[in-house]
């Protein structure tokens, strides 16, 4: 085990962290202090497990840095669906349906019966956000492989607000899919229209900007690189903060379970 930021030895400051762990409610993981996890099958990759059932999630999220020649074969399958998103770099992905070279913003959704593999065939590092979840089957419906790139997706006005936008990675009108992945973008000063409370869970990776985020009863400062898990019914909303014109807009990618009734 080693640290994600590769820093070793003592620091000048007292030990401190912004990470907050409230299992089965919400969790904040800041990048500093995250460790690399050794997982069989990952070749020449640094892997950090983010969200997991150990914190209350029904899914698993990973941050993967694939070095030159880095690869992993057979992710998912046997009932596990997979979503892979490229944060930076270029990587080749393949399942039984498709093979594609994904660049920054590229993604693949692979259904529960089709394991997916990736390989970094270049010389530069590739940073990947990876999601795994057990698929909830419904008779008469099925999911299918989707490959795309966020840079080619439409930005849709979020809840009618013209300074907040959303991208949908997967179909929103197909019951074959039991989850979706989105990116939300808030211009500085923008916010949710209300504090949301819903049965869906979220795993959220912040890609740019800064926010004050309401998580249950707490207002929490967040920024690029932070990861948040939000359990069902956790009240949540945010404001994008910063110096407009000088700092980045707020964007984060997040998962959401959907299109299924409550299992009793």
Residue 22, pLDDT above cutoff 60: yes
Residue 54: phi and psi, rounded to 5, are -65, -25
Instruction: Decide if pLDDT at 246 tops 90.
Output: no
Say what the pLDDT of residue 12 is: 86
Q: How far is CA 229 from CA 47, 77, 98, in A?
A: 18, 24, 31
Residue 2: pLDDT over 80: no
| ∠ CA 183-84-149, rounded to 5° | 55
Sign of CA dihedral 157, 130, 223, 101: negative
Residues above pLDDT 70, as percent of the chain? 100
Whole-number percent of the chain with pLDDT over 90: 91
The mean pLDDT value for 17-27 works out to 96
Mean pLDDT for 75-98 is 98
Average pLDDT, stretch 133-146?
97
| pLDDT (average), residues 126-149 | 98
Average pLDDT, the chain: 96
> Angle CA(221)–CA(224)–CA(225) in degrees, nearest 5?
105
pLDDT at residue 39 greater than cutoff 90: yes
Spatial CA neighbour of 257 closest among 235, 231, 237, 219: 231
Please report the pLDDT score of residue 9 as a whole number: 85
pLDDT band at residue 131, thresholds of 50, 70 and 90? very high
C-alpha to C-alpha distance for 229 and 200, rounded to whole angstroms: 11
* pLDDT attached to residue 245: 79
Per-residue model confidence (pLDDT) at position 258: 97
Q: What pLDDT does residue 1 have? A: 57
């Amino acid at each position: 085990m080693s640290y994600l930021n590769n820093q070793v030895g003592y620091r000048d400051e007292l030990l401190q962290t912004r990470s907050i762990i409230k299992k089965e409610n919400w969790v904040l993981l800041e990048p500093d202090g995250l460790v690399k996890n050794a997982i069989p099958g990952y070749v020449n990759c640094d892997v950090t497990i983010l969200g997991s059932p150990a914190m209350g999630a029904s899914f698993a999220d990973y941050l993967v840095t694939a070095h030159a020649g880095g690869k992993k074969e057979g992710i998912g399958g046997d009932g596990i669906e997979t979503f892979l998103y490229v944060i930076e770099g270029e990587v080749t992905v393949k399942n039984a349906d498709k093979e594609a070279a994904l660049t920054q913003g590229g993604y693949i959704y692979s259904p529960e019966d089709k394991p997916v593999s990736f390989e970094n065939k270049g010389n530069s590092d590739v940073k990947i956000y990876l999601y795994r979840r057990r698929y909830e089957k419904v008779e008469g419906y099925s999911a299918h492989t989707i490959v795309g790139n966020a840079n080619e997706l439409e930005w849709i006005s979020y809840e009618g607000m013209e300074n907040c936008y959303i991208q949908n990675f997967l179909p929103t009108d197909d019951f074959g899919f039991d989850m979706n992945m989105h990116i939300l973008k808030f211009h500085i000063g923008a916010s949710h229209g209300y504090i949301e409370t819903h049965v869906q869970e979220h795993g959220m990776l912040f890609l740019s900007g800064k926010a004050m985020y309401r998580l249950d009863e707490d207002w929490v400062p967040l920024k690029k690189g932070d990861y948040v898990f939000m359990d069902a019914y956790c009240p949540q909303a945010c404001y994008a903060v910063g110096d407009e014109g000088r700092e980045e807009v707020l964007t984060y990618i997040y998962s959401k379970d959907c299109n299924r009734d409550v299992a009793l």
